[in-house]
Chain A
Amino acid sequence: KAGVTQTPRYLIKTRGQQVTLSCSPISGHRSVSWYQQTPGQGLQFLFEYFSETQRNKGNFPGRFSGRQFSNSRSEMNVSTLELGDSALYLCASSFLAGQKAEAFFGQGTRLTVV
């Protein structure tokens, strides 16, 4: 079956702009999580959605937001981009929630802010 698909793969934006990233989870998976990966901080949790509801949010400013649609596809939005937002943004989907759930990651969207 198809894996987690993230679009676009690469993106270059200017400071102050906004950006929307998309994630299509594995068919049947209802939980979608987003992570930011940078060389200095590693992988950091942004937020998690399940059945269109945000269940958990990481320690990121309000410029970072997301949503999930009825077909489980998810988008995340970053407004008023800053240079420090340059990162690999990863989406993960899982069938179940909980400590034994297996997360499947997409290839990520590489965002560069100039």
Chain B
Amino acid sequence: TQLLEQSPQFLSIQEGENLTVYCNSSSVFSSLQWYRQEPGEGPVLLVTVVTGGEVKKLKRLTFQFGDARKDSSLHITAAQPGDTGLYLCAAPGYSTLTFGKGTMLLVSP
């Protein structure tokens, strides 16, 4: 079973601060995905990383896939209240997604 450990579990910061959340495993993945889930909504895919060492940017969000393809990180620059939500990493299988338990981010004005 592929186990994805996310840290921290909860993060509360002020608007304008930077932060990094992590997704770690002992397994090697061919790809990893990051989702954001807002209260009352389903998860929305942010990015898929495929190549070891890959870095992808989505506005103020920077995603990195570890060289060994066992871990990934999400860095947010100058966080805004609209970034509030549950950030989930997931490992795609043939017809399934295995999720980490997520990092709950709260950005206060």
Footprint of B on A, CB under 8 Å? 4, 31, 33, 35, 41-45, 48, 50, 55-56, 58, 90, 92, 97-108
Tally of contacts, chain A with chain B, CB under 8 A: 65
- On whether the beta carbons of A99 and B43 are closer than 8 Å, the reply is no
Interface residues of B in 33-52 (CB under 8 A from A): 40-45, 48, 50
Interface residues on B, range: 20 to 34
Q: Does B30 contact A (CB under 8 A)?
A: yes
Give chain B residues whose Cβ lies under 8 Å from the Cβ of A105. 42-44
Identity of the chain A residue whose Cβ is nearest the Cβ of B32 in the assembled complex: A99
Q: Pick the contact of B45 from A31, A33, A41, A102 — CB < 8 Å?
A: A102
Give chain A residues whose Cβ lies under 8 Å from the Cβ of B97. 33, 35, 43, 45, 92, 103
Of the A-B pairs whose beta carbons lie under 8 Å apart in the complex, a sample of 20, sorted by A's number, is A35-B97, A43-B102, A45-B96, A45-B98, A48-B95, A56-B93, A56-B95, A56-B96, A92-B97, A97-B95, A98-B92, A98-B94, A99-B30, A100-B31, A100-B92, A103-B45, A107-B41, A107-B42, A108-B41, A108-B42
- On whether the beta carbons of B45 and A97 are closer than 8 Å, the reply is no
Identity of the chain B residue whose Cβ is nearest the Cβ of A94 in the assembled complex: B95
Task: Give me the 5 closest cross-chain CB pairs, A-B, nearest first.
Answer: A105-B42, A42-B101, A43-B99, A99-B92, A48-B95
Q: How far is the CA of A43 from the CA of B43 in the complex (A)?
A: 10
- Among A55, A99, A105, the one with the most B-chain Cβ atoms within 10 Å of its Cβ is A99
Give chain A residues whose Cβ lies under 8 Å from the Cβ of B94. 55-56, 97-99
Q: How far is the CA of A36 from the CA of B70 in the complex (A)?
A: 25
- On whether the beta carbons of B101 and A31 are closer than 8 Å, the reply is no
B interface majority secondary structure: loop
Q: Does B105 contact A (CB under 8 A)?
A: no
Say whether, besides A33-B95, A50-B95, A99-B92, A42 and B42 are in contact (CB < 8 Å).
Answer: no
Q: How far is the CA of A51 from the CA of B70 in the complex (A)?
A: 33
Q: Does B88 contact A (CB under 8 A)?
A: yes
Give chain A residues whose Cβ lies under 8 Å from the Cβ of B96. 33, 45, 48, 56, 58
Q: How far is the CA of A53 from the CA of B88 in the complex (A)?
A: 28
